Chains A and B, each alone.
Chain A
Amino acid sequence: MSGGKDRKSKNKTKGWEEAGSEFYQESYPTDLDGAIHKDPSAIATLLPSKQNRFATTRRVRPGQQDTKTSKRRQSSTTVNRRKNSTVRRGSQHNEVQVAMLPDLSENLTDEERIWEEIHEIKSMPVPMAQKKEMKAQLQNATKLRLQGIDQIKWQRRKAWQQLQTKWIEFYTKMELWRNSLKTIEGNFGTGVVAYFLFLRWLMFLNLAIFVLILSFIVIPHIVLQEPTDKDCDSLNEPNSTACCSADYINETTNNDFFILDIIQGTGFMEKTMMFYGFYTNKIFGYNAYVNSSVVEVDSPMYYDLPLAYVSVGAVYLLLSLVAIVKAASREFKDRLVEGEGQFYQYCNLIFGGWDFCIHNEKSANIKHKAIYNEIKGLLQAKRMEFERHNRSKEVMFKLISIRLAVNIFVILILVGAAIVIYLLFSIHIEYLKPTSADSPDTSIFKTLQSIYSLNSSTNEIDASNQPIRENRASADAPIEELMTNLFFEFLPYLAIVFMNLLVPLIFNYLVQFERYSPKFVIKITLLRTVFLRLSSLAVLLSRFYILVSNDLPEGHCYMVRTPMCWETYVGQQFYKLFITDFATHIVVTFFINFPRSLLARHSNKKFVKLIGEQEFELSKHVLDVVYSQTLCWLGSFYAPFLPAIAVVLNFFMFYIKKFACLINSKPSPILYRASRSNSLFMFILLLSFVVAVVPVVYAVAEILPSKSCGPFRGLDSVWEAAITAFMKLPLFFRNIIFFFGTAGFAIPCFVVLTLLLYYYYAVSAANKHMVEVLKNQLVLEGHDKQFLLNRLSAFLKQQQEYQKKMRQPDHHREYRNDRSSRADNSD
């Protein structure tokens, strides 16, 4: 200890009083003597490669050597710093020019350089007092004033940097949930905090989507003057778009059940901007309908709302994709840098295992335990690896058959869940449909009130295919009936949500039999749960699809057995599902898990503890969030305000999850790593994004929009709006775009892309090989060095002994030793 410290401090003081490149030569010899006198084998620690930067602290005025080291350091850190280093290279160039001038000594550097160096002091590992001294010295040093354009450049850089620090300061002050994050981090470590950061990230993503929708759809819709509508000519064309729309709008809505309407999105909510149906198909500034083929342009300025609607939809999906891919690629890059698989798993665990942010005694104990478990697990796995190769065939067979059985069982459960949801949804539709199949009593889908017409509705159905008007008298229906209706209304959603709660428990139980490694257990249960959630969604979607895919009968405004405006209906369903989902989180967290944790805390019985204690299972909570995000993506085309609701609910979700985390759960004995969990989140999010996008794109491209509502009424598909807008472009642009679609463009493009792909593949393969070679070389060099050092220390030892013997008073012995050592040396 003392030897090392001595040397260090000696180096330190020497190091930075000394100037210029003589640094190494000058400071080492003195050290060498001292160290070698004590212990010849310590020579290895004096090698430059064994020194850390603290020991070889830089001098104040960097010369040739120093810029080299600092440059190396900069390139290994962030991009920002890399930028700095390139700038520096430029300024070095300046310095060379300056140095050529006759009058100036080489030591004289310009202001910019000094300024840069002052900024670099902060990353030096020396005490503050020394840093201060360095800074003072730098400031007092004679320096060259920059002139002309350099001065301006420097000023600009200075201002820019100041702005940056100001912005960072502002940002940290504004950073949402800073304190909450610190508390969570202090109790649960970085892996769990990564989840909350993910939640926040999702909230901002939703916010961005909503801002997009708000500024391009909602605000234009409010601000711009809607063109006058052509009146409905109910005699000649009773089924024109105008008539159908009038029909839809004139349909009475009942406001008697205000709260019910809010949670269901029906009644007064239906005809608001909340849902697709409300938006107009008009082009603002035009004097005609979008669907009539010939459109006269009245004014050069116009706003095509349908086009905006469909392009905003495309843009926010694209935005989400880019955001996910960007975040995921960052994680992916990190994983790649980490090396092939778990290359440095032991070192990572030992040197990065402790979260320095933990500030809670209890969590610290659990963290100790978690690291201990992880170490044991790793060692166990390493040992098991040998065993696995030698596993007997019988055992293998048994294990495989068990796994197969479990997987079949899991699939059965998934299918069963899908069937249950399908049946319940059918019941839901049947129950809410009071009349026989031939009477298209569609309004019932939209308003709960219409259910009360159950008994009397037959009287009200006209011969025509017009939907019945609601029975206002039904508002007086008894409360029990109301509740049953509400129950049936929400039945499929409740079923989905309960399934999402219960089935994962079964999966967790089953996975024990399969004897996977712990890490794989997490992954496979997560994957199964994801499938459960997505399959229930898929059933729901297919049910919708069956509902809306019927052909439109000739001369009717609505399809048989569909709601008047199916888009709004779908939007409402997602809205309902979204709300139900959120409500269950509240219920589960506050009314089930909270009492459980209270029980566990205040009771000492083992059984109660078993029921009551819960861990913060990261994968489950991630799924919750990802699921609601999937709903948001699916629904936001039909309910444009859904992202806004998602933002608000995400905001509250943070607090719910924080409660679940800090109050309900105790830290998990599984070690969650921030990097590992992050890549997991992004993978699941990407998966569900794909699942969400496919149906939306299909619906946009293929399904016939309602005739009575929405921006695309009267068109064959939503996409047609984009195509008509495209057709209005000048011929030149159209030709260019068409050219992209031809083989003349596609084939060369394909070839070039393939070549590029191959090129990058080759480069990466070469790099990989290079890494191997360099690593081998490093090992060889290490051996060489080891060998040389051993020889050197042996030689030094010999010499010391020789000197010792020389100093011995006995002349004879000295002489004899001298001869013998000389003989040794000559060997």
Chain B
Amino acid sequence: MGQAKSQFTEEELQDYEDLTFFSKKEILFAHQKFKKLAPEKVGHNKNAKLSMQKILEYPELRVNPFGDRICKVFSSSNDGDCTFEDFLDMMSVFSEATPKSVKAEHAFRIFDFDGDDMLGLSDLKQVIERLIGDQNRLPESDMKFLIQNILSEADLDDDGALSFPEFEHIVDKSSDFTNSLRIRL
């Protein structure tokens, strides 16, 4: 930890503490984890930009079906490559202290594959496909039936897609959502 400490000034740490849901200790710990992904690169430059492949080596992200989406959403350059600040943002959103609304916001963008600010049919289909994994296949009719059920539950204005308020509405009522969208540092 001593090494990590020397890479940040007290001011930077204070900034990070104010701007994330972490304490200073946790921020340093997060940096350690970040450094582990690419020790040399981060050793030279504490805020080095790591490629998406490198970031996806983080255990929780590696097995996460939405790993690449997460990287893209948090990447400040929008291509999936993350600096430490992006990584810290990511961890902060997935931390325990983060309120549901913030998590919902990011979850919505993670699930929104085509970036049209709506979870349309293709988005939902991709989400489901990723969730059940490569080995398992749902027959086309089941998939349709499932999506139809989802929309009938959540699509309040019947436009065939979930907008953010609709999504937030579901998430508000789901007690599992905060639990599942959590990565312990």
A interface list, Cβ under 8 A from B? 1, 3-5, 8, 44-45, 49-55, 73, 76-78, 81, 118-119, 121-123, 125, 127-129, 131-132, 135, 165, 168-169, 172-173, 178, 181-182, 185-186, 190, 334-335, 337-339, 343-348, 350-361, 363-365, 368-369, 371-372, 375-376, 378-379, 382, 673-675, 775, 778-779, 781-783, 785-786
Contacts and interface: CB of A to CB of B under 8 A. Distances in A.
A119 B108 CA distance: 23
Given A76-B101, A368-B131, A127 B60 contact: no
A123 B102 contact: yes
Interface in B58-90: 59-60, 62-66, 74, 76, 78, 85-86, 88-89
Contacts of A786: 157-159
Given A78-B99, A129-B85, A350-B124, A135 B175 contact: no
B2 interface: no
Given A50-B117, A119-B18, A371-B132, 7 more contacts: A52-B109, A78-B99, A127-B74, A347-B174, A354-B64, A356-B94, A675-B175
A356 B182 contact: yes
B111 to A, nearest CB: 7
Interface in B125-169: 127-128, 131-133, 135-136, 138, 142, 145-146, 149-150, 153-154, 156-159, 163-165, 167
B150 A350 contact: yes
Nearest to B142: A379
Contacts of A339: 173
Nearest to A48: B165
B7 interface: no
Given A372-B133, A375-B132, A354 B66 contact: yes
A343 B153 contact: yes
Interface in B20-44: 20-21, 23, 25-26
A753 to B, nearest CB: 30
B172 interface: yes
B115 A779 contact: no
A375 B128 contact: yes
A405 to B, nearest CB: 35
A172 B25 CA distance: 11
27 contacts: A4-B114, A5-B78, A5-B115, A44-B159, A77-B99, A129-B85, A132-B15, A135-B19, A169-B26, A344-B153, A346-B149, A354-B66, A357-B180, A357-B183, A357-B184, A358-B64, A359-B62, A361-B62, A368-B65, A369-B135, A371-B131, A376-B142, A382-B145, A674-B175, A779-B158, A782-B157, A782-B158
A123 B117 contact: no
Given A782-B159, A786-B158, A350 B116 contact: no
A356 B60 contact: yes
A368 B133 contact: yes
Contact of B180 (A45, A76, A190): A190
Contact of B173 (A55, A122, A343): A343
Contacts of B154: 344, 347
Interface residues of B, number: 81
A351 B107 contact: yes
Chain B CB within 10 A, most for which of A49, A346, A365: A346
Contacts of A371: 131-133
Chain A CB within 10 A, most for which of B16, B21, B86, B105: B105
A85 to B, nearest CB: 13
A359 B15 contact: no
Nearest to B176: A352
A337 B105 contact: no
B150 A347 contact: yes
Nearest to A50: B163
B127 A350 contact: yes
Chain B CB within 10 A, most for which of A186, A343, A356, A674: A356
Contact of A53 (B20, B97, B105): B105
Closest 6 A/B residue pairs (Cβ)? A782-B157, A368-B133, A128-B85, A359-B59, A364-B63, A52-B164
Chain B CB within 10 A, most for which of A8, A54, A173: A54
A55 B167 CA distance: 15
Contact of B65 (A52, A334, A354, A382): A354
B170 interface: yes
A128 B18 contact: no
Contact of B170 (A119, A172, A351, A778): A351
Nearest to A345: B153
Contacts of A337: 172-173, 175
Contacts of A81: 99
A138 to B, nearest CB: 10
B60 A123 contact: no
B25 A169 contact: yes
B78 to A, nearest CB: 7
B55 to A, nearest CB: 14
A355 B178 CA distance: 10
B179 A675 contact: yes
Contacts of B25: 169, 173
Contacts of A348: 170, 174, 176-177
Nearest to B162: A347
A343 B171 CA distance: 12
A356 B183 contact: yes
